Structure 1
Amino acid sequence: MTAKSLRGLAAAFALAFAGLAGTSTAQAAATIVIVNQNAPGEGFNDPTPAAPVGGNPGTTLGQQRLNAFQHAANIWGATLTSTVTIRIGAAFVPLACNATGAVLGSAGAYEVWTDFPNAPRTNTWYPSALASKLAGTDLTAPTDPHIIARFNSRLGLFPDCLPGSPFYLGLDNRHGDQIDLVTVLLHEMAHGLGFQTFTDDESGEQFFGIPSVWDYHLVDNRNNTPWVAMTDAQRAASAITWRGLSWNGPNVNAAVPKVLAPRSNLNIGGANAGGAAGDYYVGDATFGAPLAKRAVSGQLMPVVDQANGTGLACAPLNAVNALAVRNNIALVDRGSCDFTVKAANVQAAGAIGMVVVDNVPGDVVGLSGTDPSITIPAVRITLADGTVIKAALQQRSRTKSGVIASLGLDLRQLAGTDAQRRILMYTPSINVPGSSVSHYTTEAKPNQLMEPSINDDLLHVVKPPRDLTYPLLRDIGW
């Protein structure tokens, strides 16, 4: 058997950062070495003074960044098993960002290997860290990393890069409104360890005509066909089919019932519901009361405070809207202000719940934000579902619509799973390069580390009973 290797998805990152400025090591069930690829005075070597924070004793910005990397590496090192040292080539560099959004970071396998000694599957790509573990020897050159990682050095520190929202460099997860770096690192390191496919999720083409080990466990849940058995066109179509792809690995399947909670649900009924009657998928809020077995029910009443007929609820409700939502469930539109502001305004007017209608086409997404004063439940629905429900609200009085909304749980189904209780993968109807297919669905509850966006309520945990990241890595060979 002749081993073959190719530089993987993150190879381009390595070309501009050849110099090594130091290493840091995590010793545990697996040894992880962080190879500092920043030049002097930059990134990990940034001498900007910093006060110790959240268990991070570093006194410079660079040292605190390196300490956070070390902490994340310790968590993965204590979780994995490998006799081969895992090297992560890492640097903080300027990445794409603006005043309202930013790329936090990226990571992936530096090389991929097939047909190496002890390979469980022939003619199949494995990320180099996993391939080396399975081979029992380091397959890469001693100076090459197994994982390449880049993180945004400008985040929150410059007016054109999410000003006021820097990485939180503490190790205690008490990040508040900041972005927790350790959580981001755990997520990106998982990608480098193999939480990704090397098959093109947009075209469906396999990397040099060879499937990834990932593809053997990815299944089109409409016909139970594994990705590896599909044509390129079939793979491409499944990657943009909402709720169409599931993970079908024994370790994840066994852990799903221990990790995921019942699915949140919006039920529409009542005398005037008409064609809108039925159950709807919703995105949960990170604030307010969580949905429970005992549903919160009431007349669904729209807030209308814009000339075009929409209702944003970005300011305290006027008398007419306050009368409409009092003791009822408020229907508002996304846009113009934070979700917590909308919830606070309808709650102050007496609403017992809130449903937010998205303002752009897409799939179910949650509501972000933190406000301990909000006590009512809130959910988000798609623009398409909102359009159907709004049509049923056209005939209403000032206080009643005849359309009853119930916010509760569907105990028959686990959040983010298919009919066979397999966790869904992230497959939005418009392909998102780098995110589609290689992440879990955004519908999982509790939120999972390997969703495409970092959620505020994540813990520094990678395995059950809180998280499904490690079970997937076990499915591919870890």
Structure 2
Amino acid sequence: MLTPVISRSLIAAACALTCLATQAATINITSRDPAGKGFNDPTPVAPVGGNTGTTLGEQRWNVYRYVAGIWEKNLQSNVTINVSAGWEALTCTATSATLGSAGAWNIWRDFPNAKAGTWYPQALANKLAGVDLSAGQPDDGSGYGNVDIKTQFNINLGNPGCLDGSPFYLGLDGNAGSKVNFVETLLHELGHGLGFSVLTVSTGTGNRLNASGSAYVSTGGLPSIWEQYMYDNTAKKTWLNMTSAERKASAINPLQLAWIGPNVKAGAGMLKRIPIIQTASPAPGGSMNIDFNTASFGPLPPSSGNLGTLANIAAQAGEAGPGCSPFDAANTAAVKGKVAIISRGSCPFVDKVRNAQNAGAVAVILANNAAGALIPGGSDGSIVIPAVGVTQADGDALKAAVNTALAYGSRSKPGTVTAALTADPVRIAGADANGNPLLYTPNPLVSGSSVSHWDVTAFPNLLMEPNINPDLTTVVVPPYDLTLPLLKDLGW
């Protein structure tokens, strides 16, 4: 899972400058890696997926330049966008890791062509003002105090103890397999640095940054440029017009906080109807429609058609959690040729699905073990069956339906529940009732992710969701994505 972090140097109001941008953007990347590390790593590697670099450092640099080129073609600014880039040891375990993070390092308010009393990320502020607002500003001692965006990525990814066996894929062709696609990861993170972030609001408190940039305050703070288009369907108002308490509540109001900017609205027709699992059962109450989210690993489930007959698994002696150990004879017989329902907990999702696959299952439904939607994450190129995630309540309902259906068959052939994939005839995936795309507002709050991403229910998946999904492209405009329309709503 991505864990974007907004990191910044707080800048006072800009002086009076004016000039409108008219040309394609230029992105300048500066490495802060020491000799022999990161971009300077001399480890020999073979060219891969269109990346012709012959050392690990060179391939990393080539991906940066490739992704910068994508953004350059999509943005307009006559002020160079400066990015400080580095490879660092970030938080990770054998089964999870922080891939990287990026954010606006400097922020500005009250410069020419800005909305009065509103905070902006520096790259966007420079574009609107037509000059580099931090030019001539004394460095803060870091060596990157004047940059627009600071990025850092996990140098240990894929090594023992850091998402073992799943390093960054440095090819440019998207064929990441069991590895983590660095092109998509970097494209996502630079999106945050360019302004895809609530920026100067503490989502945990709803407090805004004050005018001096020195503290978050409950009253009297200045809004972020984001807030004008964040509309809460429960409160019936935008964040611009909310109190701190109302913003705090809105940040954990699932499926209710929408983006109402005109550019996004114009492109929102790309979102499809919500995909659902439709079950059929001979028992009363066993036929139901259930929302799901696709896993980040394995093949995508078909958009329509039969998924299979559902099967429960029993607890096995000595296992860490449901599906965490290779299936015994009874569970193997239960899931062979069927869709296994397995609860979350105690081991990675990929382990559960791989064990079910090895036992002959044709697909897996992973049920949450707590309230809220579930997006099964992970990476494993050996998984060749689809897996999806459902809520705890829906998982419980499916398991109960399987058990209840047994009595509605014959002695030789117990009753079964079958599942098919289809689309909701009314609801749009990742949008509210008015067709406005939803922002990510799970409860409880996910620090660094909540509000500053599209909601995980979007279909097709969007670049700026809090996960890197296998069906993403490098196109940031409709009908593939809504990233650039949102940036244009901000002023790009």
TM-score bin (small chain): 0.7 to 0.9
C-alpha displacement of 1:363: 2.0
Partner of 2:8: 11
- Match for residue 228 of structure 1 among 233, 240, 243: 240
C-alpha displacement of 1:166: 1.6
- How does 1:331-370 map onto structure 2 within 5 Å? 331-335=341-345, 336=347, 338-342=351-355, 344-345=357-358, 348=360, 354-366=364-376
C-alpha displacement of 1:472: 0.7
Partner of 2:278: 267
Q: Does 1:306 align with 2:304?
A: no
- How does 1:77-226 map onto structure 2 within 5 Å? 77-119=72-114, 121-141=115-135, 144-156=146-158, 158-197=159-198, 198-208=200-210, 209-226=221-238
Amino acid across the alignment from 1:186: L
Whether the 8 Å CA contact 2:323–2:352 is kept in 1: the answer is no
Whether the 8 Å CA contact 2:179–2:379 is kept in 1: the answer is no
- How does 1:229-308 map onto structure 2 within 5 Å? 229-258=241-270, 260-268=271-279, 270=281, 272-274=283-285, 278-285=288-295, 287-288=298-299, 290-293=301-304, 295-296=305-306, 300-306=310-316
C-alpha displacement of 1:266: 2.5
After superposition, what is the alpha-carbon deviation per residue over 1:72-120, rounded to whole angstroms, capped at 9, x for unaligned? 100100110011111011111221122221111111111111110011x
Whether the 8 Å CA contact 1:216–1:226 is kept in 2: the answer is yes
Distance in 2 between residues matched to 1:163 and 1:298, nearest whole Å: 32
Please identify, of 77-86 and 445-454, the stretch whose mean Cα deviation from structure 2 is larger.
445-454
Distance in 1 between residues matched to 2:454 and 2:87, nearest whole Å: 26
Whether the 8 Å CA contact 1:34–1:88 is kept in 2: the answer is yes
Distance in 2 between residues matched to 1:165 and 1:326, nearest whole Å: 29
Distance in 2 between residues matched to 1:204 and 1:316, nearest whole Å: 47
Distance in 1 between residues matched to 2:82 and 2:153, nearest whole Å: 17
Gap regions ≥5 residues in structure 1? 1-7, 14-27
C-alpha displacement of 1:407: 3.0
- Match for residue 444 of structure 2 among 427, 430, 435: 430
DSSP-derived class of the 2:209 partner: coil
DSSP-derived class of the 1:332 partner: strand
DSSP-derived class of the 1:338 partner: helix
Amino acid across the alignment from 1:341: R
Distance change (3 Å), C-alpha of 1:72 and 1:326:
closer
After superposition, what is the alpha-carbon deviation per residue over 1:182-229, rounded to whole angstroms, capped at 9, x for unaligned? 211111111010000121111111121111111111111234311111
Amino acid across the alignment from 1:267: Q
Please identify, of 182-191 and 238-247, the stretch whose mean Cα deviation from structure 2 is larger.
238-247
- Match for residue 382 of structure 1 among 366, 374, 391: 391
Gap regions ≥5 residues in structure 2? 11-22, 140-145, 211-220
Amino acid across the alignment from 1:418: D
DSSP-derived class of the 2:208 partner: coil
- How does 1:328-477 map onto structure 2 within 5 Å? 329-335=339-345, 336=347, 338-342=351-355, 344-345=357-358, 348=360, 354-366=364-376, 374=384, 378-395=387-404, 396-397=406-407, 400-401=414-415, 405-477=419-491
Distance in 2 between residues matched to 1:199 and 1:171, nearest whole Å: 35
Distance change (3 Å), C-alpha of 1:341 and 1:141:
same
Partner of 1:67: 62
Whether the 8 Å CA contact 2:43–2:56 is kept in 1: the answer is yes
Distance change (3 Å), C-alpha of 1:99 and 1:404:
closer
Distance change (3 Å), C-alpha of 1:33 and 1:443:
same
DSSP-derived class of the 1:150 partner: strand
Distance in 1 between residues matched to 2:313 and 2:242, nearest whole Å: 47
Distance change (3 Å), C-alpha of 1:103 and 1:318:
same
C-alpha displacement of 1:268: 4.7
Distance in 2 between residues matched to 1:41 and 1:105, nearest whole Å: 20
Partner of 1:25: none
After superposition, what is the alpha-carbon deviation per residue over 1:214-266, rounded to whole angstroms, capped at 9, x for unaligned? 111111123431111111111111111221211111111111212x2221112
Distance change (3 Å), C-alpha of 1:278 and 1:220:
farther
C-alpha displacement of 1:165: 1.7
DSSP-derived class of the 2:425 partner: strand
Percent of paired sites with the same residue: 43
Amino acid across the alignment from 1:179: V
Partner of 2:215: none
Aligned residues: 447
